Amino acid sequence: MGSLQVINLLLVIVWARQDYVTTFLFQAVSLFTMLTEGEVIISKEGDEVSLPCNFILENFSKFHNPILWHKHQRGEVTRVNMGGNVLSPFRATKRLHLAFRESSPRYSLELSLSDISLQDSGNYSCVIRGPGNDVIGQVTHYIFVRAAVEKLFFMDYTKPGGQEVSSGGILTMTDGQPFQFACVSIGGYPPPDITIYADQDNITGLFTFERLTQLVGAKAMKLIVSEIVASNEMYTPSRADDGIRLKCHAEVVDAPLISCQATEAELGQRNAYIKCFIEAKPALKTIFWNLDAEGTSLIPGNIVNDMWTIVIVREKFLNPITDQDATHVDVHLYMRIVTEESFRDYVICAVNAIDASTQKVSLIQKAKKQETTIEVKRKQPVIRFVHRNNDSLDTQPLVEETKYSVTSSQSTGTASSWLVACVLLLTWLT
């Protein structure tokens, strides 16, 4: 064989191998598809949260493709499960549950948390592994459990070691001399926004912010405690500042928090409504409903398909959509008349400067009431004979002794009236 022929043969083999490798890799990748996208979930204590992990995998095996949940808290990683069993320390809480579902080639291992607590804040990752323990798929959900600010105070650094000054306290400054102090916020999750005022003037821009986050407690069940220090090392007061009021304002801001309850209604009922409550800091920018699977939307002030929505402010503000202080509102979705098609899911969406939140709520058909049968029975009137001095007999009906038995809790006033009339007529005839 000549050298040219060898070169041609080598080229064919190399290209054939490359084509083989390319095809093999393409097939391997196409075997797995992660169906679930990661979510950011903002909840409050006592809520229930479900974390899905849905995927498609050909030739899935629980032994060769373990599905593992992990909890992350600022770099600290703890495994949640082994197969279908919840591991310690989560098992002792009895609040974490697993649900495995399969419909080949689709599989799911859902992690649910009941009675959410502050210790549940963190990132939860679902990892699917393949042969050789390689990760072939992963999705991460982020849970933020809202917490209020625990402590807020000024710190006077001119005192040895620093001195806390609580609300109503006094900061003593000297005219023309730099004064070092800070506003300190402890707690609050997500971390709060700090605003500082001198009387009515916003002086936040004069301060430098340092944000710290600490984990407090046992592994995997730690509290996330935030501390914010807004300090000013060169604040130079003047005589004009004498008697001013310094105010430090800390506010936890996040996406709107929506809570709804499924509502029952009767077929044909008029002006039925679904009710939701929204809490938002910062204030709401937009509220709207998705009415059906086609994405038909409804905003306040409009009527769509004989449905309209009303926003009720729990506090006295001018406009719940634009007023920065309007953070607590009730939202009603009204239906002019309930039809068969009305019994479905509706989605409410609330948007503020942080993010958008959605909540699904259902209208459920109320069960029909059973009809009651009313039966009225009359006893014969009791007749009393009275002997008078003229030896004549006189009959008088004792109407008050006439009794009626009614086998229903409903009113029988009309039937009773007719029966009394019949008794009087019988008496007159006799």
Sketch the domain layout of the chain as residue ranges.
32-145, 147-252, 256-365, 376-429
Q: What is the pLDDT of residue 426?
A: 57
Tell me if 339 sits within 8 A of 283, measured CB to CB.
no
Phi/psi of residue 277, nearest 5 degrees: -120, 135
pLDDT of res. 388: 43
Show the DSSP H helices in 288-355 as ranges: none
Q: Supply φ then ψ for residue 8, to 5 degrees.
A: -65, -40
User: Quick one: tokens of 161?
Assistant: 């070691």
Q: CATH classification of 32-145, choosing from 2.60.40.10, 2.60.120.260, 2.40.50.700, 3.40.50.1700?
A: 2.60.40.10
Q: Which two tokens stand for residue 98?
A: 């697993």
pLDDT at res. 71: 96
Per-position pLDDT tens, the chain of length 430:
333 222 222 333 333 333 333 333 333 444 899 999 998 887 888 989 999 999 999 989 999 999 999 999 888 899 999 999 999 999 999 999 999 999 999 999 999 999 999 999 999 999 999 988 899 999 999 998 888 889 999 999 988 888 999 887 888 888 888 889 999 999 988 788 899 998 888 999 999 999 888 888 888 898 888 899 999 988 888 888 888 888 998 887 777 889 898 899 999 999 999 999 998 877 788 899 999 988 899 999 999 999 999 998 876 444 443 344 557 889 999 999 999 999 999 999 998 877 788 999 999 998 876 655 555 555 554 444 444 444 433 434 333 333 333 333 344 444 455 555 555 555 555 5
Cα–Cα distance for residue pair 402/412, rounded to 1 Å:
15
Do residues 320 and 326 touch, judged by C-beta distance below 8 A? yes
Mention every residue, 6+ apart, whose C-beta is less than 8 A from residue 371. Answer: none
Contact 290, 280 (CB under 8 A): no
> What is the fold of 147-252?
Immunoglobulin-like (2.60.40)
Kindly tell me the burial class for residue 274, based on how many C-beta atoms sit within 10 Å of its own C-beta (0-12, 13-18, 19 or more): buried
Ramachandran bin of 8, using left for φ above 0, alpha for ψ from -120 to 50, beta for the remaining angles: alpha
Q: Are 181 and 156 in contact (CB under 8 A)?
A: yes
Sign of CA dihedral 276, 281, 287, 290: negative
Other CB atoms closer than 10 Å to residue 124's CB: what's the count? 24
Q: Report cis status (omega within 30 of 0) of the bond before 160.
A: no
Strands 122-129 and 135-145: antiparallel
CATH H-level superfamily of 256-365: Immunoglobulins (2.60.40.10)
CB 329 within 8 A of CB 313: yes
Neighbours of 314 (CB within 10 A): 14
Tell me if domain 147-252 and domain 256-365 are identical in fold.
Answer: yes
| Residue 378 tokens, joined | 């009359």
Task: Report how far residue 149's alpha carbon sits from residue 100's, in angstroms, rounded to the nearest whole number.
Answer: 38
Q: Burial level of 394, CB count in 10 A (0-12/13-18/19+)? A: exposed
- Reduce the DSSP state of residue 48 to 3 states and report it: coil
Radius of gyration of the chain measured on its C-alpha atoms: 37
pTM listed for this prediction: 0.54
- What DSSP string runs through 174-238? -TTS-EEEEEEEEEEESPPEEEEEETTEE-GGG-EEEEEEEEESSTTS-EEEEEEEEEEEEE---
